Structure 1
Amino acid sequence: MKTVVIGDVHGGLKALEQLIEHANLPKNTKYIFLGDYVDGWSQSAEVISYLINFSQENDCVFIRGNHDELLCNYLKTGTSNPMWLSQGGQSSVDGYLNLSKTKKEIHIRFLERLTNYHIDSENRLFLHAGFMNLHGPQNEYYPNLVYWDRTLWEMVCAMNPSIPEDDDRYPKRLKLFNEIYIGHTPVTRIGFDKPTNFANVWNIDTGAAFKGPISMLDIDSKEIWQSNPVHLLYPDEKGRN
C-alpha cells in the first residue's frame, strides 16, 4: 500500500482538488492529512465537506491542526477572538454563514473526531506541529501542544548535521521515532518551496495559506506532488497574506 502525507490546506479547496487529481494515485493509497484544513482562503467549509466525502472512498487519517480546533470551538460556542479572526479565522466565519444547521453539526463531528497524532507500524509519527515531552506526544501534560509547538522544527533547523545519533548532544525527542512528519510552520519562511527534511523530521507545510502550494509526499519513495500556488487559484482574495 502506498502512503502519502498532505500538508496544510487552509481553505484552498481548488488547490486540494487539483493536487489529488494531478497525483492520480492507486485506489488502495492511504492518505494522512496533517491538519489546518481551514482558515485562509474562502472555501474552508467546502474543504471539510470534501474531506468527509473523500474519506468515504479512501483510507484516510485526519490529524488535528490548531486552526481546526479554533474553528471547532467557534462552531460549537459562537465565541472567537480577534487574533484568530485576523489569522484566517474570519474567512471561515464568513464561509459558514449560509451553511445549514445540519451540515454544521456534521462538520463539528468531523472536527471533534480528528486525531492529535498518528504512529504507524514502522514507528513513524505524524502530527500537526511538534512535541516537547522527551517520552513522546502521548505523554504531553498539555495535549494541545502537539498542534501548537514550533520548538521541534526550530530545533532540527538549527541542528549541526554532523552530530551522530549516538552522541549525548543528539536530541532525545528525535530518537523516539524513525521519522516524524509535521506541518504548521511553512518551510517558505526559511527559503524552501517543497517539503523539507532536517534530521528525521519532514515538514510538509509549503505555505498554502500564503503564496505557496499544497504539497503531498510519498513517505516511502519521497516522491512529491504539488498544486499550483494557492493564491493564483484565488486571485481576488488575500488569504493570510
Structure 2
Amino acid sequence: MQALPDQRLPSGFSSTPQLRFYTVGDIHGRLDLLEKVNAKIDTDLRRRPCPRSVRVFLGDYVDRGPRSKEVIEYLLRLEEENDTVFVLGNHETFLTIFIDAPATLPMWLQVGGQETLVSYGIRPPRNASEADQSRLAAEFAEALPASHLSFLQRLRPCFAFDGLFFVHAGVRPGIPLANQSLADLCWIREDFLQHNEVFEKLVVHGHTPVRTPDIRPNRINIDTGAYATGQLTCLWIEGDRMGFL
C-alpha cells in the first residue's frame, strides 16, 4: 500500500492531544505482517516520541492465515510491555463456540478455521462425522493453552475514547453506541457501510476488506485483506491528526 500523507481527522472528531493511538486491522494468522507492523510502530515512536501511545487491535487475529496460534502468543507478549487494547472479531467467536458446540465445525471450516486448528496441531478430516466433530472439539480444548483461552474470553466488544469508537465490524445506525448488540459489533456490514450520516463518534473498524483504507466522514475502514494481499494496515491518530504507517 502506498503511504498516504498525514491529514486531519474527518470534520468534528478528535482525540486527546499527546495521546497517540496505533490501530491495526484484521491480522488473520499473518504473524509475519504483524511483526512488521509492530516494528514500524516502534520506529515511528523513536522518530516521533509522544507522552503515551496505545496499540489498538480490531479483531480477527485467527483463521485463514497459517499462524493463528503464534499470533495470539505474540499479542500476549506485546501486552506485557505496551499499552494495548484488543477488540473482539467475529472469527474469535468460532473458537470458543466450537469447544462447547462441536457441530459448528463445518461453518468454522468454511471461513478459515482449518488453518487455525492446524496451527494448534489438529488436522480435521474431510466431511467430519458427528463423532469426529466431538473428538476434535475435545482435542482443541486440550491443545488451547489457558492463556489463549483467557485472551479470547477478555476481548473487548468495542473501545470508545473521546471522539473515537474502535470496533471490529461496525455499528447499527439509529442505535446509541452504548446500546449496540454484540452481533452487530462483530458482524454487521451493509446497513452500516451504506449509512452516510455521522455517528456519535468516529467509527474505526475492519471486517470488510478494501483495497486501500476507506476514509469517510463518519468512519474509517482499515481492513486491507492482509491474509490474501500481504497488506496489514496501521492507522495512527493523535489529537485531530491521522496517518498510516
Structure showing greater relative contact order (alpha-carbon pairs closer than 8 Å, 6 or more residues apart): 2
Paired AA for residue 110 in structure 1: F
Which moves more between the two structures, 100-109 or 195-204? Answer: 100-109
Q: Alignment RMSD, CA only? A: 2.2
Q: 2:110 & 2:204 partners in 1: Cα distance?
A: 27
The question of 1:150 aligning with 2:200 is answered: no
| SS class of match (2:242) | coil
In structure 1, distance between residues paired with 2:81 and 2:94: 28
TM superposition outliers: structure 1 runs of 4+ over 6 Å: none
Structure 2: how far apart are the matches of 1:153 and 1:100? 35
For residues 114 and 143 of structure 1, the distance between their equivalents in structure 2, rounded to whole angstroms, comes to 12
Q: Please, which moves more after superposition, 28-37 or 9-18?
A: 28-37
Equivalents in 2 of 1:182, 1:63: separation in Å?
A: 10
Displacement of 1:76 after TM fit?
5.3
Structure 1 40/196 Cα, relative in aligned 2: closer, same or farther at 3 Å?
same
- 1:130 equivalent in alignment to 2:154: no
Q: Distance in 1 between matches of 2:121 and 2:99?
A: 11
Q: Give 1 or 2 for the bigger CA radius of gyration.
A: 2
Q: Which residue of 1 aligns with 2:151?
A: 110
Q: Deviations over 1:185-216 (max 9, x none)?
A: 0112xxxx2x2211220001011122241110
Provide the residue aligned with 2:236 in structure 1: 218
| TM-score, with length taken from structure 2 | 0.75
> Given the alignment of the two structures, is residue 65 of structure 1 paired with residue 86 of structure 2, yes or no?
no
Quick one: structure 1 residues 84 and 75, their matched pair in 2 at CA, closer, same or farther if it must change by over 3 Å? same
Given the two structures, how large is their TM-score scaled by the length of structure 1? 0.76
Q: Distance in 2 between matches of 1:152 and 1:181?
A: 16
Percent identity, aligned pairs only, is 32
Q: Which one is further off, 204-213 or 25-34?
A: 25-34
Question: Do the aligned residues in 1 keep the contact of 2:98 with 2:105 (CA within 8 Å)?
Answer: no
